[in-house]
Structure 1
Amino acid sequence: MKRRTFLRLATASAMSMLAAPYVHAENKKFSEITLRFGGWGGLYDETLRKSVTAPLEERTGLKVEISAGTQSADLVKLVANQKNPPFDVYQADSAYMVEALKANLVREIKEADVPNIKRILPGFREYGDYGIPYSVFTYIPVFNSKQVEKQLKTYTDLARPDLKGRVALPAATFDTWSLYLLALAEENGGSISNMEPAYTLLEQVKPNILALAQSTVAMVQMFENGEASAGVISDARGHEMRAKGLPIVSVYPPQGIYGATSYMNVVKHTKYPEAAFAFLDQMLSDEGMIGLPRAMRLGVTTDIKLPDEIAKDLTFNSPERIALKKKIDWQKWMADRSTRIERINKILRG
């Protein structure tokens, strides 16, 4: 080999050896960072680990620590430690977004920060530049087709006499799950500003109520044990029961479907905003977005094209269904929370 050729090859080899660590460092630029956020436990958190955090760590080195808890408890922790927050990302549904913004806990997120924001479908960012909508869950009537002869078609059907002692409903303290009350009001001439029709109907439903569930797990158990024949539960839990072989039918009332959106937020005083933005961008990617629909049949917020075998099981899987999605004044709903809980408890105790 000529000396000049050898020198060229040697130089190129040396440069590639120098470049490799540099490229590796670029790809693993978050390898020294651990991002923290509060999860919701179970299959939900497991799915986020598989579809969001694991691929992100593989590409960037970013580690994400998910601590299962509740959004209410996480909110309290953030309020108490605003300058040194226990989380970098706060997960909140539509109702708790109101509380997070009121407490000034989260920061604005622009498309320049998270490019995949451009893929979010119209109407899903309910709070302007705050919060990244990640999944959609509805609270719809369900019934056991082997125990209920005449199928339910509306939320109001839960008051039917043939369902006496067989209806499971959520406790009044659940702000999104108790949206069935707003449905009862609006199906019977009321509104979010006039809930009287709902309370009147609740008086009628009272003989039907088997129990007020304190969790979705408790609700599922009532159906599995054959105690409950009808009720209101999330579309994801309905799918879960059907997957177990239970003859549970989900109802999509023509007057409208009520539900909420799950948001991810960058906490205001996080030390790692750039890493948090990368995490949110991964969530909105096809790889990140498909996880929950595949595992739990939760709805999507982006323009992702889902496989037919998944899409057919989703609540909002057609233009006609999407048109049924009710718009909710969350500030009004949360402002009336105490009055609503007091009124419901009074009715049910009486």
Structure 2
Amino acid sequence: MKKLISLLVMASLLLLAACGSNEGSKEKTKKLVVSTWGFNEDFFNKEIYKPFEEENHVEIVLDTGNNADRLNKIKQGNSDVDIIFLSDYYAQQGIQDNLFETIDHAKLPNLNNIYDVAKAPLGEDYGPAYTIAQFGIAYNPDEVKKPITSWNDLWSKDLKGKITIPSITSTTGPMFLDAASVIGGSKTFNEDKAFSEMKKIMPSVVKEYSQTSEFVNMFSQGEIAAGPIMGMYFASLQEAVPNAKFVIPSEGGYGVMNTVNIIKGSDQKELSEKFINYILGKEVQEKSAKNKVDSPVNKEVKLTDEEAAGLTYGEELINSLHILDMKFVNENLKGWIDRWNRELVQ
């Protein structure tokens, strides 16, 4: 009888263990679907996503692609995404289309440690910028007569047939249009002055680029000597042309905010807010910065000059950048595109 009771007890314990194992595996199958660009996946999977997965018993599933394609999938309802990373230009479109949940900033304590400009770039109800990129000018000093230090230098006759500019439909197109307005002498954006200056520069343009890879190819093959580009892509230019230079123009560069938001209808809102707070933390921000992946917005991250090279780092630099009003840009973009096609495209 004792032996029978012992066997029954053991069987019960094994059954409980199996149930516990099933419950654990069920907990492990909880998923957080993250829509992002897909670059540096090995780094993110190992250094950023895996620690969060282990701590929160969740599997992070990636949905990768460019800004426009990923946003369109959300608009069409062809996605089960919980969190989406987008540049501010595209995130504003998502806000206007009512695609994002509002975020309780009180649940993001790490917001207290990031630069003010990054806390709510598109409004208090929406997500922060987890990194800031800078838009300036890259050039090959071996192919120009004098160093480039200003937006105005791109209008020089010496650069005729030697530059590229971003397409108006690209993320940085409206920024360059704003720079043209500055060259035209306006302190605030003036559309007529901007287009007047654009007409002057177009004879110097070899080709408008829509993707950074086009810039890199033209630059490496010697088709162009200079052009406006995001600083985060400069390393690719230097690989092809070691002497290449990147400058923030004397009139000021432009800041591009990469934001993170929660998709409306997500059943993982609480976990999504926890993830957003996590990527704003010092540890994650420091890892990304030291691996030259993303520039930090967390003020607690301290970098040496060598570690900061190529990054948008430090309060002085960040505060010097022009930040466009993306609501204004999106409200006026269709008109700018139409005018661009009428007056500038040949």
TM-score, length of structure 1 as denominator length: 0.84
Residue among 3, 9, 31 paired with 1:34: 31
- Partner Cα separation in structure 2 for residue 238 and residue 106 of structure 1: 32
Q: Which string of whole-angstrom CA distances, capped at 9 and with x for unpartnered residues, describes residues 22-68 of structure 1?
A: 9x97xx9962212112221233x444323321221232222111122
Change in 2 beyond 3 A, CA 1:168/1:291? farther
1:115 Cα shift?
Answer: 2.5
1:78 aligns with 2:70: no
Question: In the alignment, what sits opposite 1:50?
Answer: 46
1:236 Cα shift?
Answer: 0.8
1:215 Cα shift?
Answer: 0.6
1:97 aligns with 2:94: no
Question: In the alignment, what sits opposite 2:140?
Answer: 144
Name structure 1 gaps, 5 residues minimum: 1-17
- Partner Cα separation in structure 2 for residue 244 and residue 304 of structure 1: 34
Q: Choose 192-201 or 177-186, whichever is displaced more.
A: 192-201
Contact 2:134 2:253 in 1 (8 A): yes
Residue among 63, 66, 77 paired with 1:67: 63
Change in 2 beyond 3 A, CA 1:315/1:133? closer
Question: In the alignment, what sits opposite 1:5?
Answer: none
Contact 2:101 2:263 in 1 (8 A): yes
Contact 1:143 1:230 in 2 (8 A): yes
Question: In the alignment, what sits opposite 1:176?
Answer: 172
Question: In the alignment, what sits opposite 1:241?
Answer: 237
In the alignment, residue 312 of structure 1 is paired with which amino acid? Answer: A
1:318 Cα shift?
Answer: 5.2
Name structure 2 gaps, 5 residues minimum: 1-16
Change in 2 beyond 3 A, CA 1:168/1:33? same
- Partner Cα separation in structure 1 for residue 294 and residue 154 of structure 2: 24
Contact 2:36 2:63 in 1 (8 A): yes
SS for the counterpart of 1:149 is coil
1:140 Cα shift?
Answer: 0.9
RMSD, matched Cα = 2.5
1:191 Cα shift?
Answer: 5.5
1:80 Cα shift?
Answer: 2.5
Contact 1:62 1:275 in 2 (8 A): no
Contact 1:299 1:315 in 2 (8 A): yes
SS for the counterpart of 2:329 is helix
Identity %: 23
Question: In the alignment, what sits opposite 2:154?
Answer: 158
Question: In the alignment, what sits opposite 2:7?
Answer: none
Q: Choose 273-282 or 189-198, whichever is displaced more.
A: 189-198
- Partner Cα separation in structure 1 for residue 32 and residue 219 of structure 2: 38
1:171 Cα shift?
Answer: 1.6
SS for the counterpart of 1:239 is helix
1:258 Cα shift?
Answer: 0.9
- Partner Cα separation in structure 1 for residue 324 and residue 270 of structure 2: 32
- Partner Cα separation in structure 2 for residue 178 and residue 163 of structure 1: 22
In the alignment, residue 204 of structure 2 is paired with which amino acid? Answer: N
Contact 1:34 1:65 in 2 (8 A): yes
- Partner Cα separation in structure 2 for residue 155 and residue 55 of structure 1: 43
Q: Choose 122-131 or 46-55, whichever is displaced more.
A: 46-55
In the alignment, residue 89 of structure 1 is paired with which amino acid? Answer: I
Runs of 4 or more, structure 1, over 6 Å off, are none
Contact 2:151 2:250 in 1 (8 A): no
1:213 aligns with 2:209: yes
- Partner Cα separation in structure 2 for residue 123 and residue 50 of structure 1: 29
Contact 2:137 2:229 in 1 (8 A): yes
In the alignment, residue 329 of structure 1 is paired with which amino acid? Answer: D
- Partner Cα separation in structure 1 for residue 163 and residue 239 of structure 2: 21
Residue among 279, 283, 289 paired with 1:283: 279
- Partner Cα separation in structure 2 for residue 79 and residue 288 of structure 1: 30
SS for the counterpart of 1:336 is helix
Question: In the alignment, what sits opposite 1:302?
Answer: 298
What is the total number of aligned residue pairs between the two structures? 324
In the alignment, residue 223 of structure 1 is paired with which amino acid? Answer: F
- Partner Cα separation in structure 1 for residue 219 and residue 291 of structure 2: 21
Change in 2 beyond 3 A, CA 1:176/1:33? farther
Change in 2 beyond 3 A, CA 1:295/1:53? same
Question: In the alignment, what sits opposite 2:110?
Answer: 116
Change in 2 beyond 3 A, CA 1:284/1:243? farther
In the alignment, residue 96 of structure 1 is paired with which amino acid? Answer: Y
- Partner Cα separation in structure 1 for residue 294 and residue 245 of structure 2: 16
Change in 2 beyond 3 A, CA 1:104/1:30? farther
SS for the counterpart of 2:116 is coil
Residue among 318, 322, 333 paired with 1:337: 333
Residue among 301, 309, 313 paired with 1:312: 309
In the alignment, residue 313 of structure 1 is paired with which amino acid? Answer: G
Question: In the alignment, what sits opposite 1:12?
Answer: none
In the alignment, residue 240 of structure 1 is paired with which amino acid? Answer: S
